[in-house]
Amino acid sequence: MIAQPQRTGVTVGYQGVPGSFSSQAMHQWFGQVESRNYPKFEDVFLALQNGAIDYGVVPMENSSTGAINDNYDLINKYHFFIVGEQSIYIAQNLLGVKGAKLNDIKEVYSHPQGLLQTSQFLAAHQIQGKECLNTALAAKMATERQDPAIGAIASTEAAKLYDLDVLAPSIENDKSNHTRFIIFGRAPEVLPDADRISLIFTLKNEVGTLYEVMRVIKEHAINMVRIESRPLLGNPWEYYFYVDLDGNLADPRIAEALAELKNYTTSLRLLGNYHRQEN
């Protein structure tokens, strides 16, 4: 069942346009690779399902604005496997057309996350935020409009690609602003240095089952990095849980804990055991 990764000669999909943070995360993980970009997150999952790409890259969480819930739901819906994680520093920049000045900007386009991550700067300068599908697309739109009153919040790479000036660098609220991206594929892949395990489970409808899950993890001395609860589609007021653990499946403690967790869950799915990287 476990495959060894073969990442040369593959095609990778991401949401957005060239210059987006997703494309940066893709290149940091894969290096120079053939890629395809898509308008929406779900388009990436559909492309993998249809065989148009070999891997997908999507953001899962930002350190200042939290989980990107759509992608938790999509990784659960499509039953793919996480084969890697890439965390990158997100420096948000105010971009404008050539010759524009900061005081000229009245509106900026960006992904909703980009607007949230720069809300303090926008409020201080009385700039109105307008949502679009991603930050690099915002830069492309600003170039097409050629209006000094319209800017974009995006990366310096997007500024270079779309011939825009950086009017104000690093305007994010949190200077430790990072986004965690997952790399996912059709089959699980485990390397000897894999150090992160992701699970999705649903609980038995009994008193204390979530407590029992936490107890099992604690008693096996496993570090739980993250837990997210999401509504279970088609089952009102029921939830599934996404959990990240530190560890490797070769560790007997992990195998024992996973076996014990089955006593308290109605479903338990291993999403992957993979290596995490940071910029």
**What is the Cα–Cα distance from 204 to 183, expressed in whole angstroms?**
30
Averaged pLDDT for residues 40-51: 97
Q: What is the pLDDT of residue 8?
A: 66
Positions annotated as catalytic residues are: 179, 181
Indicate the pTM of the whole model: 0.84
Kindly tell me if the per-residue pLDDT of 176 is higher than 80: yes
98-156, pLDDT tens digit by residue?
999 999 999 999 999 899 999 999 999 999 999 998 888 999 999 999 999 999 999 99
Q: What is the mean pLDDT of the chain?
A: 92
For the residues 246-264, what does the mean pLDDT come to?
A: 95
Mean pLDDT of 169-196: 92
Task: Quickly state the pLDDT bin for 279 (edges 50, 70, 90).
Answer: low
